[in-house]
Amino acid sequence: MSLTVAIDGPAAAGKGTIARAVAEHFGFAHLDTGLLYRAVGRRTLNGEGAIMAAQSLTAEDVADADALRTPDVAQAASQVAAMPEVRAALVDFQRAFARRIGGAVLDGRDIGTVICPDAEVKLFVTATDDVRARRRHKELVGKGHEVTLEEVAADLAERDRRDAARITAPMTAAADALLLDTSTLSIDDAVARAIERVGQQASAAI
């Protein structure tokens, strides 16, 4: 059986953490689709055109995930992500990944709405602005980045605004998504809720 789990939500809500844990628990493959947009964004920072970059993306572009997880690359990602041609160039790869035999978890902004509208399980992960900024700040400082909480909060707010307002595939919860507010949840509790939901839907889908 091939089951698809779609996880969307705003920046630093816990999507990736939950997606990785769900994939590990069920033995599914995991794709962090934000890395694709970050890789395109990074290539534009190096002077390349966004559409060309998206159309010629390779595994090598996303190999060093840590190098892509910086605020300047995130901003560039959110800018290129508003371009319909960039999004179109990345659709087939994501859909093929979602159909993997054995199951797949994809996390991003438009997985449950555009990439996999037929996904068996959809989660929309949220947390308050303040909680998300604190978590991402802690994470970046822990990796040695010199960035203030205010700068991180501004980056998240600007990206969320742009991601929700764009015309093509805006960030929004699918009508059939389960809303998971992780503001007061530990990672373990958030993961447990997600696993419970996937387990319920998986037995319903058999």
Phi, psi of 103 (to 5 degrees): 100, 150
CA distance linking residue 187 with residue 172, whole number of Å:
23
Considering beta carbons, is residue 53 or 81 the nearer one to ligand CDP? 81
Phi, psi of 191 (to 5 degrees): -65, -40
Q: Is 47 annotated as a binding residue?
A: no
* Of residues 77-106, those binding ligand CDP (CB under 6 A): 77-78, 81
DSSP H helices, the chain, are 15-26, 34-45, 50-55, 65-68, 71-80, 84-98, 129-142, 149-165, 187-205
Binding to ligand CDP by residue 122, rule CB under 6 A? no
Token pair listed for 176: 């059939």
CA distance linking residue 48 with residue 117, whole number of Å:
32
Q: Is 16 annotated as a binding residue?
A: yes
Pick one of 22, 23, 30, 38: the residue that binds ligand CDP (CB under 6 A): 38
Q: Is 17 annotated as a binding residue?
A: yes
* Of residues 4-23, those binding ligand CDP (CB under 6 A): 9, 11-17
Q: How far is the CB of 190 from ligand CDP (least distance, A)?
A: 4
* Of residues 162-201, those binding ligand CDP (CB under 6 A): 163, 182, 185, 187, 190
Q: How far is the CB of 203 from ligand CDP (least distance, A)?
A: 25
Distances in Å between the Cα of 82 and the Cα atoms of 121, 163, 185 are: 26, 7, 31
At residue 59, the 3 state secondary structure works out as: helix
Contact window for ligand CDP (CB under 6 A) among 75-83, 144-152, 172-180, 196-204: 75-83
CA distance linking residue 197 with residue 206, whole number of Å:
15
Considering beta carbons, is residue 3 or 54 the nearer one to ligand CDP? 54
Binding to ligand CDP by residue 39, rule CB under 6 A? no
Instruction: Count other Cβ atoms within 10 Å, centred on residue 8.
Output: 27
Which residues sit at the interface with ligand CDP, rule CB under 6 A? 9, 11-17, 33-34, 37-38, 74, 77-78, 81, 108-110, 135-136, 139, 159, 163, 182, 185, 187, 190
Annotated binding site for ATP: 9-17
Annotated binding site: 9-17
